[in-house]
Amino acid sequence: MSTVVSRSAFSGVFKAAVILAWAIFICFGFARALDAISWSGLYQSNFSFVPGHWVRSQLTRASSSPGDTCVLIGASVVREGFDSSQLSQSVPGVRFVNLATTGGFSPMDVLDVQSRILAQAGDRYRCIIVGMNNFYLRHFDRQSYELVTTDYLSQMPAAALAIPEIWSGGSDKRSLINRMMVPFGKNSVIAQRWWRYSLYELRSILSRDPVDIARYETDPTEFKPAFQFQYIDKPSILEQNIPRAREEFAQHDLEAADSYKDSGTKLVMKRTIERLAKLTDHVIVVTMPLSSVYRTVEDVSKPAFEQARASIDDAIFVKCKIADAEEGALFYDTSHVNENGREKLSKSLAVIVSNAMVGRAPIGQSDLCATE
Amino acid sequence: MAIFATTAFVWVVAAMYILIHVPLKIPRSVWYGVLNLGALVILLGWRAAALALAFAVFYWVALGVLQRFVSQDREVLTQRLAIALYASVAVIFICHKLVLERANDFVAWLPFHLLSGVSNSPPFLSGFKILQLVAFSYVCLRLVDAVRAVSAGARVLSPIGLLGYLVPFFMTPSGPVNEYDEHVAMDKSPLPAPTASHFVDSVFLIVTGYFLKFACAQSYGIFVRGLDGPWPVATLWDSTVFLIYVLIEFTGYSMIALGVGRLLHVPTPVNFNHPYMATSFADFWTRWHMSLGSFVRRTMYFPIRMSLSRAVKPKRGDKLKIHAINTVALLVPFAFVGVWHRFTWPFVLWGLAVGVVVAIETILRDEFFGKRKSPLPAWVIRPLVSLYSVFLVAFTLQVALADFAK
């Protein structure tokens, strides 16, 4: 029996394919249109510290008066390093909002993603402070861009997902495509969380007996409000973390000069700063203080940082440093400051920012920080 | 139900929608069977798909022999083989219900590791996914229907076509029970050309089903018991609450299956017809899980009633015998339905309880209420009857709920 058929007989297949293609296109368009609607309400109730959600909720605050707001972006060293309330008090007329989250294995990617999210918001800020370290210029780690697990995806503009580095991740690829196709897919995590919390609240209202919130949580901290400072009230673990830090240096080759030869990260840094420069007149790049265990890492990565800096015209570079003698009092662990360190850093940065705001030259030097 | 929650399922359906229209000069059931096998490989893994295919081939051989006996008018052999096949299905069903619930004990002394391909994990998990599915109960029902149909003279599908009937990828979670005769009839008519309106109608069903199941039912379930807490089972109110959940969830699932079946032009029965609008308790069961009801009617209720009528030979007007025959014919399928849900005594009792109530209602309707005009208007009677029906279902469910909610 012949299974060969005429070309016209395939018209059914073509028609089905066209119908399906249209359906996918409409579905995708509908999903994009829904994402364009403001989700500010969802992100005002910020449950637990999910990076993407934190950025969005802080951005919502910043967007209320962006012209008077300085935003801070970066990884956990910035999150822990600067108290936006203290900065706001120290710099009259300026409000500070800290969008910094976590760094993962490729903190430069985090800065890139955060800058794209800021650019998508379309606001113009009083200033943007970028906290980083020299070793961010290490070559890309192929496990970077954990857009789905950190829920940065829900905040990224669709066009940004065309950049090649995003697709270097493994399982994220399929998740990205699938969530872009489904209405509410990008914001499904926060929407689902908000919905479960609403069900819990409704049940609490209707029930005579107290309702255990744990029954509605996927983990015990899920519905706890997000709090910026993750290490507050915790005793210092600086000494205990030194061996672990050395292990990580070895694991990720942070002390090897070859790790910083990749031009890709330098280009990302340049483009990130250029992108931010379009959103404000004052981009301030702050090299964050690290404990002495990072000495070799800082020295080895400095040439790469200097090379990147040389290609950037649109920013003020500031270096903050904590003396070895003070690190026991000011560090929580090998890279994050404690409350005392945060207070000193914030005051120091406030001086720099104040001078930059009023165009005072030279911008100057404060306790821990100086312009480079 | 996890299979429906995967994006792989959606992409498989999308691909099949295009591929089902490839104009091959082979029976539709065969081409659909091939695509279905591919879907099973993607969604369940090649081992599960291979096991399902082996299962289908085995019964294809048996049905082929049965068909030969039928065509040669060898009644006795036909009967014996049919009984043997029914018995084999019963054994498989009991194995599925009893043994696999205690699978770790079972696999300790069987060489399942040869099929699993994974040497250091529980053997049955990777090789016997197909048996783990709740839907294997439905496979058993489809097999029974196939034996019944072939005994009555229906054609035997090809092995791959039989696989497509027995283990349809989009009915693996929870049915419905599609009819063998309808599946065979698929080959008699050409595949309709794809149209936008047909696509939209089918997708609308699927999307509505997803909304009911994953939004409404899950929200309802989370509201009542949290993320994974136990269902409350203490009171009649609890069983009503649970019944509502089952209705929404099962309706949603059935709509997904129905929508996919329509999209792919695979005969798929409707499973729910607004059961909360039932005009009686008996009517409720013709609106709830309709495919199962249709199955037990054609394979149990009508054959038992006919056999008993031939044996007892009630005279016209002999109401006692007629009602007795009808009651027995009702109790057997309802008891089966109970056992089919759970192989436990509470569920046997539940099935019998339902059968008894339906029988009593039928008798009362025939003897007292049948031709009398209702004293109240329909808009009053109708909701009252619906409430009464739902109440009775919840009441009978209390008999078995403590077991079902585990």
Rounded to the nearest angstrom, the minimum Cα separation between B254 and chain A is 21
Q: Which is more confidently placed, A76 or A50?
A: A76
Mean pLDDT of the A279-288 span: 94
Check A13 against B203: CB less than 8 A apart: no
> What is the token pair recorded at B34?
């091939």
Return the pLDDT at A45: 67
Instruction: Give yes or no for residue A33 having a pLDDT over 90.
Output: no
Instruction: Give yes or no for residue B187 having a pLDDT over 80.
Output: yes
Nearest to B151 by CA among B77, B61, B59: B77
Check B219 against A17: CB less than 8 A apart: no
Rounded to the nearest angstrom, the minimum Cα separation between A343 and chain B is 42
Cα separation values, B50 from A21, B96, B121, B129, Å? 32, 18, 20, 11
CB of B191 within 8 Å of a chain A CB? The answer is yes
Rounded to the nearest angstrom, the minimum Cα separation between A216 and chain B is 5
Return the pLDDT at B123: 43
Return the pLDDT at B180: 95
Rounded to the nearest angstrom, the minimum Cα separation between A230 and chain B is 27
Return the pLDDT at B102: 56
Identify the residue among B42, B198, B225, B227 best suited for mutation to test binding to A, counting A beta carbons within 10 A and taking the highest.
B227
Number of C-beta neighbours around residue A279 at 10 A: 19
Return the pLDDT at A2: 47
pTM of the model: 0.80
Q: Are A96 and A228 in contact (CB under 8 A)?
A: no
Return the pLDDT at B289: 92
Interfacial A residues in 141-180 facing B (CB < 8 Å): 174, 178
Instruction: Give yes or no for residue B104 having a pLDDT over 60.
Output: no
pLDDT-based confidence at B113, cuts 50/70/90? Answer: very low
Cα separation values, A273 from A118, A133, B142, B372, Å? 12, 14, 65, 86
Among B194, B219, B223, beta carbon nearest to A12: B194
> What is the token pair recorded at B392?
């009775």
Check B21 against A12: CB less than 8 A apart: yes
Check B227 against A2: CB less than 8 A apart: no
Instruction: Give yes or no for residue B191 having a pLDDT over 60.
Output: yes
Instruction: Give yes or no for residue B373 having a pLDDT over 70.
Output: no
Number of C-beta neighbours around residue B173 at 10 A: 17
Return the pLDDT at B386: 78
Q: Are B44 and B74 in contact (CB under 8 A)?
A: no
pLDDT-based confidence at B158, cuts 50/70/90? Answer: very high
Q: From chain A, pick out residues whose CB is under 8 angstroms from the CB of B194.
A: 12, 15-16, 19
CB of B203 within 8 Å of a chain A CB? The answer is yes
Pairing of strands A69-73, A315-320: unpaired
Q: Which long-range contacts (CB under 8 A, 24 or more apart) does A344-349 make?
A: A344/A368, A345/A81, A345/A82, A345/A289, A345/A320, A345/A369, A346/A81, A346/A82, A346/A83, A346/A86, A346/A87, A346/A90, A347/A86, A347/A90, A348/A320, A349/A82, A349/A87, A349/A129, A349/A286, A349/A318, A349/A320
Mean pLDDT of the A198-213 span: 91
User: CA-nearest residue of chain B to A198?
Assistant: B223
Return the pLDDT at A167: 61
Q: How many Å apart are CA B253 and CA B259, to the nearest integer? A: 10
Return the pLDDT at B220: 94
Check B18 against A196: CB less than 8 A apart: no
Number of C-beta neighbours around residue B198 at 10 A: 15
Give helix B378-404 / helix B319-341 axis angle, nearest 10°: 50
CB of A13 within 8 Å of a chain B CB? The answer is yes
Return the pLDDT at B6: 82
Interfacial B residues in 116-135 facing A (CB < 8 Å): none
Instruction: Give yes or no for residue B361 having a pLDDT over 60.
Output: yes
Q: How many Å apart are CA B172 and CA A37, to the nearest integer? A: 38
Q: Minimum mean pLDDT among A169-178, A281-290, B71-80: which range?
A: A169-178
CB of B226 within 8 Å of a chain A CB? The answer is yes
User: CA-nearest residue of chain B to A14?
Assistant: B18
Rounded to the nearest angstrom, the minimum Cα separation between B156 and chain A is 20
A182: buried, middle or exposed (CB in 10 Å: 19+, 13-18, 0-12)?
A: middle
Rounded to the nearest angstrom, the minimum Cα separation between B263 and chain A is 11
Q: Are A341 and A331 in contact (CB under 8 A)?
A: yes
Check A12 against B203: CB less than 8 A apart: no
Give the gyration radius of chain A's Cα atoms: 24
Which range of A252-261, A356-365, B209-218, B384-393 scores highest in mean pLDDT? It is B209-218
Give the model confidence (pLDDT) of B249-307 as tens digits: 999 999 999 999 999 999 999 999 988 888 888 888 899 999 999 999 989 999 999 99
Which range of A173-187, B97-111, B282-296 scores highest in mean pLDDT? It is B282-296
Q: Which is more confidently placed, B102 or B225?
A: B225
Among A1, A16, A195, beta carbon nearest to B194: A16
Return the pLDDT at B173: 84
Instruction: Give yes or no for residue B215 having a pLDDT over 60.
Output: yes
The complex's ipTM works out to 0.78
* Average pLDDT across chain A, whole number: 84
Return the pLDDT at B127: 46
Check A215 against B25: CB less than 8 A apart: no
- Beta-carbon contacts below 8 Å between A and B: 63
Q: How many Å apart are CA A98 and CA A131, to the nearest integer? A: 11
Return the pLDDT at A294: 93
Give helix B136-151 / helix B46-71 axis angle, nearest 10°: 20
Rounded (5°) CA angle B100-B106-B112: 95
CB of B229 within 8 Å of a chain A CB? The answer is yes
Check A3 against B21: CB less than 8 A apart: no
Check A3 against B226: CB less than 8 A apart: no
Instruction: Give yes or no for residue A358 having a pLDDT over 90.
Output: no
Mean pLDDT of the A134-158 span: 73
Q: How many Å apart are CA B299 and CA B336, to the nearest integer? A: 11
Q: How many Å apart are CA A15 and CA B371, to the nearest integer? A: 55
CB of B196 within 8 Å of a chain A CB? The answer is yes
CB of B204 within 8 Å of a chain A CB? The answer is no
Instruction: Give yes or no for residue B95 having a pLDDT over 50.
Output: yes
Return the pLDDT at B329: 92
Number of C-beta neighbours around residue A121 at 10 A: 18
CB of A327 within 8 Å of a chain B CB? The answer is no
CB of A216 within 8 Å of a chain B CB? The answer is yes
**Could you tell me which residues come within 8 angstroms of residue B149 by beta carbon, excluding any fewer than 6 positions away?**
B179, B180, B181, B184
Instruction: Give yes or no for residue A159 having a pLDDT over 70.
Output: no
Check A15 against B203: CB less than 8 A apart: no
Return the pLDDT at A166: 60
Q: How many Å apart are CA B73 and CA A242, to the nearest integer? A: 88
Cα separation values, B404 from A158, A320, B351, B397, Å? 46, 64, 13, 9
Pairing of strands A315-320, A369-371: antiparallel
**H/E element, A284:** strand A283-287
A286 forms bridges with which residues in the sheet?
A: A131, A318
Instruction: Give yes or no for residue B333 having a pLDDT over 90.
Output: yes
Give the model confidence (pLDDT) of A66-122 as tens digits: 999 999 999 999 999 999 999 999 888 899 999 998 886 678 888 988 998 899 888
Rounded to the nearest angstrom, the minimum Cα separation between A5 and chain B is 7
Check A13 against B23: CB less than 8 A apart: yes
Check A216 against B227: CB less than 8 A apart: yes
CB of A212 within 8 Å of a chain B CB? The answer is yes
Check A10 against B24: CB less than 8 A apart: no
SS3 string of chain B? CHHHHCHHHHHHHHHHHHHCCCCCCCCHHHHHHHHHHHHHHHHHCHHHHHHHHHHHHHHHHHHHHHHHHHHCCCHHHHHHHHHHHHHHHHHHHHHHHHHHHHHHHHHCCCCCHHHHCCCCCCHHHHHCHHHHCCCHHHHHHHHHHHHHHHHCCCCCCCHHHHHHHHCCHHHCCCCCCCCHHHHHHHHHCCCCCCCHHHHHHHHHHHHHHHHHHHHHHHHHHHHHHCCCCCCCCCCHHHHHHHHHHHHHHHHHHHHHHHHHHHHCCCCCCCCCCCHHHCCCHHHHCCCCCHHHHHHHHHHHHHHHHHHHHHHHCCCCCCHHHHHHHHHHHHHHHHHHHHHHHCCCHHHHHHHHHHHHHHHHHHHHHHHHHCCCCCCCCHHHHHHHHHHHHHHHHHHHHHHHHHHHCC
User: CA-nearest residue of chain B to A17?
Assistant: B18
SS3 of residue A285 by DSSP: strand
How many residues are given for chain B?
406
Q: How many Å apart are CA A307 and CA A309, to the nearest integer? A: 5
Give the model confidence (pLDDT) of B47-79 as tens digits: 889 989 999 999 999 999 999 999 998 888 888
Q: From chain B, pick out residues whose CB is under 8 angstroms from the CB of A195.
A: 219
How many residues are given for chain A?
372
pLDDT-based confidence at B318, cuts 50/70/90? Answer: confident
B119: buried, middle or exposed (CB in 10 Å: 19+, 13-18, 0-12)?
A: exposed
Pairing of strands A283-287, A315-320: parallel
Check B24 against A23: CB less than 8 A apart: no
Please give the share of chain A, as a percent, with pLDDT higher than 70: 83
Please give the share of chain B, as a percent, with pLDDT higher than 70: 86
Q: How many Å apart are CA B14 and CA B26, to the nearest integer? A: 22
Mean pLDDT of the B127-156 span: 80
Mean pLDDT of the B25-50 span: 93
